[in-house]
Amino acid sequence: MAVPDERVVQGEAPGLGLLGPRSRHLLALEFGSKAQFDDPRLEWRRLFSELLGTFMLVLVAAGGGILHGQGQISLAAAVVAPGLMVMAIILFMGAVSGAHLNPGVSLAFAMRGDFPWKRVPGYIIVQLVGATLASLFLLAVFGNIQHLGATLPGPGYANWQALLMEVVLTGVLVSVILGTASAAQNVGAIAALGVGGYIALAGLWSAPVSGTSMNPARSFGPALVSGDFTSYWVYVLGPIAGALIAVGFAYVLRGGGGDPISYAAGSGALDAGTHEQKQQLSKAIDRGEVTPPGIASADPPAARQSGPPSS
C-alpha cells in the first residue's frame, strides 16, 4: 500500500516535520538529532561523548570517595552525587552516544542485539580512558590518598561478599537501563530519573559492603593511577556477571531484542532501505493499520474494534 507523503526531514522521525519550530527544538534538546546519531562519519563524536561522560562520572564518584574518606562529606553525599551526575549526563548528551558510561552496559546492549558488536571495543576503550583521565586529575588535585577513591570491599567484608553484592547491584542496574532505554540509547527524562535514581539508592544501602561500583571502568581508573589492583577482579567479574543476568531477565520480561528498528537506533549506519521501512512502519502504526507486537496478542480482536463502553 502506498504511503502518503509527509513533510519528514531526511534522517528524522516520521511526523517530526509536521511539528512547529518550537516543538521540534524542544524535542531536539532532549533526544538530539537522529540523523547525527545514525551517521557513521560522526562515530568520533559518540566516542568523545563516552569519554567525557565517563570522565565526569568517575570524577564525581571517586572524588566523593576521597572526600568522604577524609571526613569532609557524608557517605550519603558521596553515593548520591554519582547518581545525580548520571542524570545530568543522560539529559544533556545521552542522545549523542547513548550514555553507556560502563563496559557492562555496552556489552548488555550488544548481547540484546540492539548495539553492533563492532562498536563495543571502541566504547569500552574510551570509557577506560575517561576513567583514567579523571583519576589523573584527582591525583593532581589531592595526591595519592584514599586509594584515589577506588572501590574496595568495606572493613570486615571479604572479596566474595563484595563480589556477590556487585553481581546483584549490577544486575538490577542493567535491568533498569534495558527497561528504560530507547534501544541502545539512554535518553530522556525517564531514563535519567530511573538510572540516576537507582545508582543513588544502591549506594545509600550497599556502599559499606562493596563501594557500589557496578562499573568496571569506574573502578579501573582509580586502581590504575593509585597502583592498587588488590581487589579489582571483584569489580570486573561482578558487574559483567550482573550484566549477563540482566540480559537474561530482559529476555524473560520482554523477549529477544535486536528487532530492525531497535538495532537501527544503535547501529551508527542506516542504509536508505532500512530507514524507509522504519518510516513506513511508524506511519502505519500511527494510522492504526499495524498493531505493535505484544498488543495484538494481548487484546482480542473484538476488544480492539469495539468502541468505548457505554455508561
28, pLDDT greater than 70: no
Q: Provide the β-strand partners of residue 185.
A: 182
Q: Distance between CA atoms of 268 and 133, rounded to whole angstroms?
A: 26
Q: What average pLDDT does the segment 273-296 reach?
A: 59
- At residue 256, the pLDDT reads 82
CB 73 within 8 A of CB 64: yes
Question: Could you report the per-residue pLDDT of 74-103, keeping only the tens digit for each?
Answer: 999 999 999 999 999 999 999 899 999 999
308, pLDDT greater than 80: no
Is position 306 within any domain?
Answer: no
Report helix, strand or coil for 294: coil
Is position 132 within any domain?
Answer: yes
Residues 6+ apart with CB under 8 A from 168: 242
Is position 283 within any domain?
Answer: no
Could you count the other beta carbons within 10 Å of the beta carbon of residue 26? 12
Instruction: Find cell 533526544 and name the residue.
Output: 31
Percentage of residues in the chain having pLDDT higher than 90: 63
Question: Could you report the per-residue pLDDT of 198-255, keeping only the tens digit for each?
Answer: 999 999 999 999 999 999 999 999 999 999 999 999 999 999 999 999 999 999 998 8
DSSP 78-140: HHHHHHHHHHHHHHHHHHHH----SHHHHHHHHHTTSS-GGGHHHHHHHHHHHHHHHHHHHHH
Is position 277 within any domain?
Answer: no
Confidence class of residue 298 from pLDDT cuts 50, 70 and 90? very low
183, pLDDT greater than 50: yes
CATH code of the domain containing 134: 1.20.1080.10
- At residue 255, the pLDDT reads 85
Residue 158 belongs to domain spanning: 34-262
Query: Of 5-19, 39-53, 293-307, where does the model show the most confidence?
Result: 39-53
Question: Could you report the per-residue pLDDT of 137-171, keeping only the tens digit for each?
Answer: 999 999 999 999 999 999 999 999 999 999 999 99
Is position 67 within any domain?
Answer: yes
Is position 182 within any domain?
Answer: yes
Q: What average pLDDT does the segment 10-21 reach?
A: 50
Confidence class of residue 108 from pLDDT cuts 50, 70 and 90? very high
Task: Give the torsion sign (CA, 282, 287, 289, 291).
Answer: positive
Q: What's the number of domains the chain is made of? A: 1
Is position 100 within any domain?
Answer: yes
Range with lowest mean pLDDT among 57-71, 163-177, 181-195: 181-195
Across the chain, mean pLDDT equals 82
Q: Please, is 228 exposed, middle or buried when counting C-beta atoms within 10 Å of its C-beta (0-12, 13-18, 19+)?
A: middle
Q: Which of 82, 56, 69 is nearest to 203 (CA)?
A: 82
Q: Distance between CA atoms of 91 and 79, rounded to whole angstroms?
A: 20
| pLDDT top residue among 276 and 26 | 276
- At residue 185, the pLDDT reads 85
Is position 236 within any domain?
Answer: yes
